[in-house]
Amino acid sequence: MGNIGSGVVIDLVLHGIQVVGVDVSLDKLERARVEILKGLRFAPLLSKHLPKVTSGEAIKRVNLTTSLEQVAACEFIIENVTEDWDIKRRVYETLDRVAAPPVCLGANTSCISITRIASVTKRPAQVVGMHLMNPVHLKSSVEVIRGHHTSDQTIEVVQQLFRQLNKQAIIVGDLPGFVSNRISHLFMNEAAFVLQDNIATAGQIDAIFKQCFGHKMGPLETADLIGLDTVTRSLDVLYEAYHDPKFRCCPLLRKMVDAGWLGRKTGRGFHVYPD
Amino acid sequence: MVANDLNHVRETIRSFINHSINIEGLGDDENLFESGIVNSLFAVQLTTFVERHFGLEVGTDDLDIENFKSVNATAAFVVRKAGGNPV
């Protein structure tokens, strides 16, 4: 489920929703379980407005499994698989077969077009993009993407879900990267180029965004939070989609991924995370 | 170190924060979160450090940003939580 998948589970559980969480291995599920419990524990520290849920209550609301077939009983499905078209395509073909006919599929994708995702299913009107961002339970809004065939009814279903999560849906059209990542990845990528060119330190780059622009996080901190492997894959998707050189991935970013410095999740990225 | 050694506790916390965010001239009463020096996720790092370093258990009722909003607030929390016992 990765970073974002665990974040989605935390938000759903906090709001009293039963969840089936699927990942490809027991190791990954165990890491997700630890992240989910940690996120639930610290939620009251990060926001006074969130409900408190004990680990005992949380365990009752979450079923973690490696069997994708177990989502058959779900009333809504949120897909968070890695930003790789071949993997996404196979997952959607299975979801389309397993999920009950009225169920909508929410693609929590970074950059891949919702219309393209919907094209591999027999329910394109019920496929909708929902770009949730970390930390999911602290965000008051979500970017919702209407694919070419997404129906008004599906938009209404997803809006109901987000009302339950106290989030405002900002509905936009569909092209790769949508609004958020098409712009934010240019920031993160160029910040990596600035660092590579020795113009400033990572701390200085982020400080300028926070202290001068008033952003809550700088572009390099944001990249560390998302995961540099995910950022790199998203840039590759954008480059492939638009064939525009502005999306070419910074070599430093790719080198850090090769070195295993993926950001917060590995304890080191552009910044160091002691815990 | 003992819990009433507030100065030592404060120095340990200041050192952790300075090491983590690499900022110069941080005031001991400066609100880390309101000033935008760090984002709220740093509160999790700071809380985890306090638990591990001082061997304290931070309970659900303690998970209040007021307890971790500055160097002094965090040091006072550690001393209060330890209740005068060695930490």
- Residue B43 to residue A210, Cβ atoms within 8 A: no
Task: From chain B, pick out residues whose CB is under 8 angstroms from the CB of A139.
Answer: none
Most confident of the following: A75-79, A215-219, B14-18: A75-79
Domain that includes residue A101, residue range: 2-172
Per-residue pLDDT at B86: 53
Per-residue pLDDT at A52: 80
Task: From chain B, pick out residues whose CB is under 8 angstroms from the CB of A274.
Answer: 16, 19-20, 45, 49
Give, in order, the Cα–Cα distances in Å from A110 to each of A149, A189, A237: 19, 15, 9
Of A172, A189, A223, which one is at a domain's C-terminal end?
A172
Is A112 within a domain? yes
Mean pLDDT value across residues A69-91: 95
Q: Of the given ranges (A151-165, A218-232, B22-36, B68-82), which has the lowest mean pLDDT?
A: B22-36
Question: By the 8 A CB rule, do A269 and A262 touch?
Answer: yes
- Residue B49 to residue A274, Cβ atoms within 8 A: yes
- Residue B48 to residue A52, Cβ atoms within 8 A: no
Mean pLDDT over each residue of chain A, to the nearest integer? 94
Is A216 within a domain? yes
Whether A208 and A86 share a structural domain: no
Whether A88 and A184 share a structural domain: no
Q: Of the given ranges (A14-23, A35-44, A65-74, A76-85), which has the lowest mean pLDDT?
A: A35-44
Of A120, A139, A172, which one is at a domain's C-terminal end?
A172
Query: What's the total number of domains in chain A?
Result: 2
Percent of chain A with pLDDT over 90: 83
- Residue B43 to residue A45, Cβ atoms within 8 A: yes
Per-residue pLDDT at A83: 86
A140-177 pLDDT tens trace: 999 999 999 999 999 999 999 999 999 999 999 999 99
Most confident of the following: A43-47, A205-209, B5-9: A205-209
Three-class SS of residue A22? strand
Q: Could you tell me the strand order of the sheet in which A76-79 lies?
A: A76-79, A104-107, A127-131, A141-145, A168-172
> Considering CB atoms only, which of B36, B39, B65 is closest to A211?
B36
Whether A164 and A195 share a structural domain: no
CATH number at residue A212: 1.10.1040.10
Whether A29 and A72 share a structural domain: yes
> Considering CB atoms only, which of A135, A210, A272 is closest to B36?
A210
Mean pLDDT value across residues A226-255: 96
Whether A208 and A82 share a structural domain: no
The yes or no reply on domain B6-22+31-82 and CATH 1.10.1200 is yes
B18 touching chain A per CB within 8 A: no
Is A86 within a domain? yes
In angstroms, the CA A162 to CA A141 distance is 9
A241-272 pLDDT tens trace: 999 999 999 999 999 999 999 999 899 999 99
Per-residue pLDDT at A107: 97
- Give A202: exposed, middle or buried? Use CB within 10 Å, 0-12, 13-18, 19+: buried
Task: From chain B, pick out residues whose CB is under 8 angstroms from the CB of A135.
Answer: 41
For B79, the token pair is 């001393």
Per-residue pLDDT at B4: 57
A51-63 pLDDT tens trace: 888 878 888 899 9
Task: From chain A, pick out residues whose CB is under 8 angstroms from the CB of B22.
Answer: 203
Interacting residues of A125 by C-beta distance below 8 A, sequence separation 6+: A149, A150, A151, A153, A154
CATH number at residue A154: 3.40.50.720
- Residue B39 to residue A217, Cβ atoms within 8 A: yes
Is A227 within a domain? yes
Task: From chain B, pick out residues whose CB is under 8 angstroms from the CB of A44.
Answer: 60, 63-64
Three-class SS of residue A274? coil
B34 touching chain A per CB within 8 A: no
The pTM assigned to this predicted structure is 0.83
Task: From chain A, pick out residues whose CB is under 8 angstroms from the CB of B64.
Answer: 44-45
B47 touching chain A per CB within 8 A: yes
Going by pLDDT thresholds of 50, 70 and 90, the confidence category of residue A275 is low
Mean pLDDT value across residues A20-26: 96
Is A271 within a domain? no
Question: By the 8 A CB rule, do A149 and A122 touch?
Answer: no
For A56, the token pair is 């005992």
Evaluate if residue B84 carries a pLDDT over 90. Answer: no
Per-residue pLDDT at B37: 73
Residue in chain B nearest A52 by alpha carbon = B60
Of A141, A172, A203, which one is at a domain's C-terminal end?
A172
Evaluate if residue A42 carries a pLDDT over 60. Answer: yes
Mean pLDDT value across residues A94-111: 95
Whether A21 and A76 share a structural domain: yes
In angstroms, the CA A168 to CA A172 distance is 13
Is A8 within a domain? yes
Task: From chain A, pick out residues whose CB is under 8 angstroms from the CB of B43.
Answer: 42, 45-46
Evaluate if residue B1 carries a pLDDT over 60. Answer: no
Fill in the DSSP letter of residue B32.
T
How far apart are the CA of A127 and the nearest CA of chain B, in angstroms?
32
In angstroms, the CA A33 to CA A18 distance is 15
Mean pLDDT over each residue of chain B, to the nearest integer? 84
How far apart are the CA of A14 and the nearest CA of chain B, in angstroms?
15
Mean pLDDT value across residues B1-13: 79
